[in-house]
Structure 1
């Protein structure tokens, strides 16, 4: 009897699409041809993903909160999750500052500052940030994709549904079935992922000419080195302590959301795949449906590393000496700003503006790295997504809810 051929997994297909995108991008760049025609194919993938994020988060959170039925448990999970996010963000900024001070990416570099002007943004106040967590109109929050407001309303709705007891069971069943439907839709969308990833990477490689990359190559390399150090120093020890599965298994399961994050530069785009992957790692749905969307909104380890690096880089370009006190200010304001920019358009720009204002660095410095921001953002977003997944595993372990049974290959569906 002929043995049936093993079907190639979706992460493997995405890996092939990723490699093909790099090759296609280089071919078009070397030939001097316009690669813009490929971008719509990548944009379709991002739009499909964004289409499912809001209903997936809302429905899964309502179902999770209603089935959890324990306000004290939610409180414990929330506190542990936020402590983890703040702690890892602080370490990330510290690593960025150390790497920048040791290797000095801006020392001796001459870049033209003529005509550079940073886009003006207004950082939100602390009171405004907290008020914005509560939606004035839940339907508007859903329409605008304001994840933190959606999380707040979904949890509120879920616990109110749970309090109805038997009366609320029919509606709870609808949300549970709705959650399964969203998982099916996500699986269907993911079949397009290899093509979307290929298009996005091809456009990035083909569009980022060598003349743009070379002057800032040291900054780019240091960003990726700092991200790797953060993974080795923070995430891997936490995963080794929390999960009894091998680290190879973790990366195998997480390959899909990490590839999506790297190619799209969007934590929101990777959110559905990240939720599915963490569940395959043994995280219960009640926890993954809370920690992953919250992390997508406020956990910015990759951005935190970049803030430390960029601040020192710009200071060196302008010949400004950053004192220890100034660098400590960068550390503190970056942690607060990461959370303070929640739900604000151009969040990364807002955070950088707040940091630069605090230590009196020229705003024009932000525009210096604009040409390679996409390359840097690929590392930032991937680290953010991995941090969210690590947090979900750690919190589940602390709650005693982590299922340590063997996991799958990371494919959705």
Structure 2
């Protein structure tokens, strides 16, 4: 009975993913069965994508602005927050670097299917395709000269910068800005609910899209996803086993490695079972207590890390970009691209935090930043994101737990764990 209840809980937690994959699978089968005749269903996918694109701009603005506006200042916590930020950033960069090295060693082949998909994207959206080839300076990327231009998806970086400035300006306004903070929070909640409503038709919309893609490009389309998914799962498994052990060793030596893996099973299974970093917070806090992490550290690191610290998402961002670079004939290994890819990866992991289905918003940001045609690139990125979600959540959520140990080591010294265990005895 307990097993049945647990199985039903897992099914319920994965319901959105199961619905989405059911829609995509049904669409692929229709494409196989009816070929080019399914082209008449493409409008259903276009409706879904258009609704998603329309919601993105206000959602990103209100999410970022309200988050900054609600920050609390305090001198006593300043040093601790600095350590937390450094640990979060370091592990995100390291995870992205691991995935980058894997993709450089095993590059995604630019096969005929990917080239044909890119050519079709150019025909479907010549404006976006021409924008990809154009060059712009830094001022044009980060700013616009008219407020109305912030509403365009092509100016996503400018929108994010403006949202950050609005948030900080609200923070500086203090008591006089309290009413505006309330407006930002209310609008942010409304936009989250709007995104949730739109995502309810995602199985139908993406199903229609893939029916069209399979009908046009044939069965070989499925093979496009096999290599990147295999590389991602193997890389994440290796990163989880090797790097998390190294992080635990840094935190407290061999004793840290033993105590981390001894108490890690429940949070790990919770992360996989719920596919949610937020839902894993209680299990992480309980495990941190058993690992002797001080409460004043774990109570900050773990809740803060759930929306902001995402090793798995940083690795999935790399794999998505690698596929899109191959799809549109760009050189993923070009030296000038490395800093841009790393920067986008860090920003995407932050943008995606705290938003239901927020990974899709991060994908839009990455696609826009590199000038890929949105209508063709987003569904591909969304499918990859859905397929890698379980192990990405494992790394995201468990990364918060191991980060709490690392923060404790920096804040309280390398002998913190042995001292706490000896004091208990």
- Shared fold (TM-score greater than 0.5)? yes
Secondary structure, aligned partner of 2:412? coil
1:161-200 equivalences in 2 (<5 Å): none
* Structure whose residues are more often helix by fraction: 2
Alignment deviations for residues 17-37 of structure 1 (CA, whole Å, 9 cap, x no partner):
59x98xxx9xx9xxx9xxxxx
Corresponding residue for residue 86 of structure 1: 89
Out of 340, 362, 370, the position equivalent to 1:329 is 340
1:106·1:314 contact (CA, 8 Å) conserved in 2? no
Cα pair distance change 1:95/1:271, threshold 3 Å? same
Cα pair distance change 1:106/1:256, threshold 3 Å? farther
Cα pair distance change 1:341/1:265, threshold 3 Å? closer
In the alignment, the residues of structure 1 paired with residue 235 and residue 110 of structure 2 have an alpha-carbon distance, to the nearest angstrom, of 18
Runs of at least 5 residues in structure 2 that lack an aligned partner in the other structure: 23-71, 129-151, 172-177, 192-218
In the alignment, the residues of structure 1 paired with residue 398 and residue 162 of structure 2 have an alpha-carbon distance, to the nearest angstrom, of 30
Runs of at least 5 residues in structure 1 that lack an aligned partner in the other structure: 1-9, 33-64, 147-210, 408-413
Cα pair distance change 1:248/1:109, threshold 3 Å? farther
Q: CA deviation at 1:77?
A: 1.2
Corresponding residue for residue 352 of structure 1: 363
In the alignment, the residues of structure 1 paired with residue 166 and residue 275 of structure 2 have an alpha-carbon distance, to the nearest angstrom, of 28
Alignment deviations for residues 82-122 of structure 1 (CA, whole Å, 9 cap, x no partner):
0111111122222222211211234437267469999x966
2:352·2:362 contact (CA, 8 Å) conserved in 1? yes
In the alignment, the residues of structure 2 paired with residue 309 and residue 95 of structure 1 have an alpha-carbon distance, to the nearest angstrom, of 11
Corresponding residue for residue 389 of structure 2: 377
Cα pair distance change 1:131/1:295, threshold 3 Å? farther
1:314 paired with 2:324, answer: yes
Corresponding residue for residue 270 of structure 1: 280
Q: CA deviation at 1:270?
A: 0.9
Out of 208, 211, 225, the position equivalent to 1:216 is 225
In the alignment, the residues of structure 1 paired with residue 287 and residue 183 of structure 2 have an alpha-carbon distance, to the nearest angstrom, of 28
Cα pair distance change 1:236/1:316, threshold 3 Å? same
Q: CA deviation at 1:130?
A: 6.2
2:316·2:385 contact (CA, 8 Å) conserved in 1? no
1:137 paired with 2:182, answer: yes
1:303 paired with 2:313, answer: yes
In the alignment, the residues of structure 1 paired with residue 290 and residue 240 of structure 2 have an alpha-carbon distance, to the nearest angstrom, of 21
Corresponding residue for residue 171 of structure 1: none
1:251 paired with 2:261, answer: yes
Cα pair distance change 1:381/1:73, threshold 3 Å? same
Secondary structure, aligned partner of 1:320? coil
In the alignment, the residues of structure 2 paired with residue 254 and residue 73 of structure 1 have an alpha-carbon distance, to the nearest angstrom, of 31
1:326·1:359 contact (CA, 8 Å) conserved in 2? no
Q: CA deviation at 1:128?
A: 1.8
Corresponding residue for residue 216 of structure 2: none
In the alignment, the residues of structure 2 paired with residue 272 and residue 251 of structure 1 have an alpha-carbon distance, to the nearest angstrom, of 18
In the alignment, the residues of structure 2 paired with residue 295 and residue 94 of structure 1 have an alpha-carbon distance, to the nearest angstrom, of 20
Cα pair distance change 1:213/1:292, threshold 3 Å? farther
In the alignment, the residues of structure 2 paired with residue 377 and residue 109 of structure 1 have an alpha-carbon distance, to the nearest angstrom, of 28
Tell me the TM-score normalised to structure 2 length.
Answer: 0.57
In the alignment, the residues of structure 2 paired with residue 234 and residue 391 of structure 1 have an alpha-carbon distance, to the nearest angstrom, of 12
Corresponding residue for residue 199 of structure 1: none
Corresponding residue for residue 237 of structure 1: 246
1:96·1:226 contact (CA, 8 Å) conserved in 2? yes
In the alignment, the residues of structure 2 paired with residue 213 and residue 260 of structure 1 have an alpha-carbon distance, to the nearest angstrom, of 30
Instruction: Report the RMSD for the aligned CA atoms in angstroms.
Output: 4.7
Q: CA deviation at 1:394?
A: 0.8
1:329·1:358 contact (CA, 8 Å) conserved in 2? no
1:260 paired with 2:270, answer: yes
In the alignment, the residues of structure 1 paired with residue 403 and residue 183 of structure 2 have an alpha-carbon distance, to the nearest angstrom, of 27
Secondary structure, aligned partner of 2:391? helix
2:306·2:353 contact (CA, 8 Å) conserved in 1? no
1:125 paired with 2:150, answer: no
In the alignment, the residues of structure 1 paired with residue 395 and residue 368 of structure 2 have an alpha-carbon distance, to the nearest angstrom, of 26
Secondary structure, aligned partner of 2:113? coil
Secondary structure, aligned partner of 2:372? coil
Corresponding residue for residue 77 of structure 2: 74
2:271·2:279 contact (CA, 8 Å) conserved in 1? yes
Cα pair distance change 1:144/1:285, threshold 3 Å? farther
